[in-house]
Structure 1
Amino acid sequence: MDDSVDRHIARWRGKAPFDERVEAIVTRMQFLVRHLSRGKDAALAMVGLQDFEFETLHRLASRGEGGGATPSELAAELKLSPAGMTGRLDTLEKAGLVRRVRSEEDRRRVDVELTDEGRATWLKAMGVRGEAEDDMVGVLTRADQEVLAALLKRMLLQVEEPGSPSAPQA
């Protein structure tokens, strides 16, 4: 059975110089990433979050129950300016999803924490996203999933290798 990538390759066969096997792999990965992105957008819409809000909650949730971060730590992780981070935190705080608290160790320091509502909203978004991801990957057997994970890891290590022609430039 042909998929959209098979039809794409057939349309371009003989018209452009490419290795059909490489084109099939890369294009399918691109289509799957696009599918995941649309699924993430739908999950966030279901819980009333925008992507930037989710990403901030996600960073805070990664610190565990009761874990917090300074606004500057979050800004660095999210690659935002301090002013951009302040605006984002203001929005999330007004929505009741995060709170700013004075540090116990240093009263000059402000930490940002998830509220119970923020954690519940993040968990709901993660659940919806997880269902879509499980559905997509679930067509593969456990053994196939292990093989695919290992192959993708090898590819990622190649592009992340410093000095590799395909490594991201700093």
Structure 2
Amino acid sequence: MDMSARSERSRYETEVAAYVAAGGDEQVQRVITAVHGLARRLSQWYSQQLSDLDITPGEWAVIRYLAAEADDNISTPSQLADATAVAPSSMTHRLDRMAERGLIDRTPDEENRTRILVQLTHDGWEMFRQVVRQDNMVESDVLAQVPQSQRAKLAQLLELAIAGLDDALK
């Protein structure tokens, strides 16, 4: 085991012990602390990967939203600002940079000429694919310690936790 793996495990154990000592349920703290630690480490890797590809996390948020969440893969600048939690003026600057790089197209809405529609270009889709393929390699490495036969169960359990979050936020 290398030093970073040992330190992450040690950090995990220390955090769980502290939360339990403060009155937290050990099973709950083990799960939540593990999920948080995994998310933290993946986030660090994703940030480095995006930097290597010369994409900011904000630009990736736009690409990801347009590719995976926007209706017909088309959105408006205000919808993108809401979806990525930035001010509309910041979104305008972000979209300007992305259009200059050829990642998005902005066109007037035929039904409402005062509205602009944003969609990924061929280069934007290729960037999305490249990031997803690189992510998948690292994510597969992360799951290497989880037996193939148990991955579906892990996904199902995490999906139940997500559903619980959705119910709690209603």
CA shift at 1:41, angstroms?
A: 0.8
The answer (yes or no) to whether the contact 1:74–1:85 under 8 Å persists in 2 is yes
State TM-score, norm by structure 2.
0.79
Q: What does residue 121 of structure 1 align with?
A: 127
CA shift at 1:143, angstroms?
A: 2.9
CA shift at 1:138, angstroms?
A: 3.1
CA shift at 1:54, angstroms?
A: 0.4
Structure possessing the higher relative contact order (Cα contacts under 8 Å, 6 or more residues apart): 1
Q: Counterpart of 2:146 in 1: which secondary structure?
A: coil
Matches within 5 A, 1:19-98: 19-62=25-68, 67-98=73-104
Distance of 2:118 and 2:19 partners within structure 1: 54
Pick aligned residue for 1:130 from 136, 141, 144: 136
CA shift at 1:150, angstroms?
A: 1.5
Identity across the alignment (%): 27
- Bigger proportion of residues as helix: 2
Deviations 1:100-123 (A, max 9, x none): 112344444321121222222222
Distance of 1:14 and 1:160 partners within structure 2: 26
Q: What does residue 117 of structure 2 align with?
A: 111
When Rg is computed on C-alpha atoms for both structures, the one with the higher figure is 1
Q: Counterpart of 2:118 in 1: which secondary structure?
A: strand
Distance of 2:25 and 2:46 partners within structure 1: 31
**Structure 1: stretches of 5+ with no match in the other structure:** 162-166
Distance of 1:55 and 1:115 partners within structure 2: 15
State TM-score, norm by structure 1.
0.79
CA shift at 1:22, angstroms?
A: 2.6
Q: What does residue 150 of structure 2 align with?
A: 144
CA shift at 1:93, angstroms?
A: 1.4
CA shift at 1:6, angstroms?
A: 6.4
Deviations 1:119-162 (A, max 9, x none): 2222212221121112112322333111111211222222221x
Letter matched to residue 65 of structure 2: R
**Structure 2: stretches of 5+ with no match in the other structure:** none
Letter matched to residue 62 of structure 2: T
The answer (yes or no) to whether the contact 2:16–2:29 under 8 Å persists in 1 is no
Equivalent residues, number: 163
CA shift at 1:43, angstroms?
A: 1.7
The answer (yes or no) to whether the contact 1:5–1:27 under 8 Å persists in 2 is no
The answer (yes or no) to whether the contact 1:57–1:118 under 8 Å persists in 2 is yes
Distance of 1:119 and 1:10 partners within structure 2: 41
Distance of 1:88 and 1:39 partners within structure 2: 22
Letter matched to residue 92 of structure 1: M
